[in-house]
Each structure stands twice: as structure tokens, then as C-alpha cells.
């Protein structure tokens, strides 16, 4: 089975639990990684904590604090939904469906590769 909190961050989920601002604790910290002065001297990384569940999300995807706040809230909402609903969550179901599609695509690609291999072998035999 999939680790539940790793399934978060899917775009099409609609039926998520709502978060109230009173349940959130927000901090702004310096980000890390590449970016030089723009990263090292600005506090544009958002750390958001959902107090009742204890789930923490850190977002530093853009240089904009406002965009990072919005993205952090979306990710946190999906993770909280997964935490409370578990396998009944839309996020989990979506992730499970995409995993099945990915496995099916791999299986078909492998079959096609085998067919091509057999075809080439048959051509080699015909030439001899």
C-alpha cells in the first residue's frame, strides 16, 4: 500500500476537509538550496503546521511569500485530508489510480519491446 502522506499534492482533488486559520501555525524562514543571495537573505520559505494533527509542511517553491503560503495551504489541506480520511480520501484514490495506469503503461511497453525483439529475430532467420 502507498504511504498515505506521500499521496498528497494532486491537483484534481475536490472533496477535501476545510482548514481554519485558528488551527494553523505559520512561520517564515530562510529557504535552502540553489539561488544564492535571493535564497540566503530572504525569509520566503513558509513552514505551516496543523496544530490538531501535528502535520508540518515546508514550502519554498517560488521566491514569492504569498505564492508559497498558498501552495503550502493546498499541500497541508491534502495531507490533513489523507490523515483523517485515510484510504477513503480522494487524494489517495487518485494516487492509486495513477499508479495502476503507470504500471499498465510499463507492462504494455515491455510487451511491445518483446514483440519487436521477436520480429527482428524472425527477420534474421529469414535472411539466413
Calculate helix-pair angle for 90-127, 65-85, nearest 10 degrees: 90
- pLDDT given at position 15: 65
User: pTM to 2 decimals?
Assistant: 0.62
- pLDDT given at position 14: 56
Residue 13 has pLDDT above 80, yes or no: no
Q: If pLDDT is split at 50, 70 and 90, which confidence band does 37 have?
A: confident
Lowest mean pLDDT among 14-28, 50-64, 70-84: 14-28
Residue 39 to residue 29: CA distance in whole angstroms: 10
Residue 22 backbone phi and psi in degrees, to 5: -65, -25
Mean pLDDT of the chain: 83
Domain segments of the chain as ranges: 17-85, 88-127
The CATH-assigned architecture of domain 17-85 is: 2-Layer Sandwich (3.30)
Q: What is the per-residue DSSP string for 80-97?
A: HHHHHHGGGSHHHHHHHH
Amino acid at each position: 500500500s502507498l504511504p498515505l502522506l506521500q499521496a498528497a499534492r494532486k491537483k484534481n482533488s475536490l472533496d477535501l476537509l476545510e482548514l481554519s486559520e485558528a488551527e494553523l501555525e505559520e512561520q517564515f524562514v530562510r529557504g535552502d538550496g540553489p539561488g544564492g543571495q535571493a535564497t540566503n537573505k530572504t525569509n520566503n520559505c513558509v513552514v505551516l503546521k496543523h496544530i490538531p494533527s501535528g502535520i508540518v509542511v515546508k514550502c519554498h517553491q517560488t521566491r514569492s511569500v504569498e505564492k508559497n503560503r498558498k501552495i503550502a495551504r493546498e499541500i497541508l489541506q491534502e495531507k490533513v485530508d489523507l490523515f483523517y480520511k485515510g484510504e477513503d480520501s480522494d487524494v489517495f484514490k487518485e494516487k492509486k489510480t495513477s499508479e495502476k495506469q503507470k504500471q499498465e503503461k510499463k507492462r504494455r511497453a515491455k510487451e511491445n519491446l518483446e514483440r519487436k525483439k521477436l520480429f527482428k529475430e524472425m527477420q534474421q532467420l529469414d535472411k539466413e
